[in-house]
Amino acid sequence: MYEPGNVLMVCLGNICRSPLAQGVFKKMSKKFNIEVDSAGVANYHSGYPPDKRSIYIAKKNGIDISMQKARQINLGDFKKFDYVFVMDKQNLHNVKDFTSNYKTNSIIRLLNDPYEIEDPYYGNEEGFEIVYDKIYQSCKRVLNNWK
């Protein structure tokens, strides 16, 4: 957790939480020459832009995520990304299950370890504010640990 590396942010749909996390981490990690991306455990929303509420809260904080397109995780991600940060325990379970027969050196962790960043999809805008704050604090914590 102390060396800079490529980061993949993962949630369920890749339209609410992980696109925000991608945008926040990308902006914060500019001085490191790393790749930052996001993906979903599920493929329901593949090809779609982030949820309007995520685009809005990102924009409010000076980050444009509107060009992102949702995609599903694939095994290649576990070669390319040194860190795979997931949002909740279900994501963690799914990702570990997905890679159970695959040899990977990726560090797979809850982004807000040991806490979850809960799915805001069925909630209101306030839920997205909470998600943004948790993502922001978590990303800062990760970067503070990097040399």
Catalytic position from the list 16, 17, 51, 77: 17
Looking at residue 39, the DSSP 8-state letter turns out to be E
| Binding of ligand 4NP by 11 (CB under 6 A) | yes
Residue corresponding to tokens 């902006």: 27
Report the Cα–Cα distance between both ends of the chain, in Å, rounded.
10
Q: Is 17 a catalytic residue?
A: yes
Of 10-18, 29-37, 94-102, 136-144, the segment contacting ligand 4NP by CB under 6 A is: 10-18
Q: Is 119 a catalytic residue?
A: yes
Q: Is 113 a catalytic residue?
A: no
Asked if residues 72 and 40 have their Cβ atoms less than 8 Å apart, the reply is: yes
| Binding of ligand 4NP by 13 (CB under 6 A) | yes
Hey, which residues between 83 and 142 contact ligand 4NP (CB under 6 A)? Answer: 119, 121
Tokens describing residue 104: 């990977």
Looking at residue 100, the DSSP 8-state letter turns out to be T
Count the Cβ atoms, other than its own, within 10 Å of residue 1.
11
| Binding of ligand 4NP by 17 (CB under 6 A) | yes
Catalytic position from the list 37, 88, 119, 139: 119
Residues that bind ligand 4NP (CB under 6 A): 11-17, 44, 119, 121
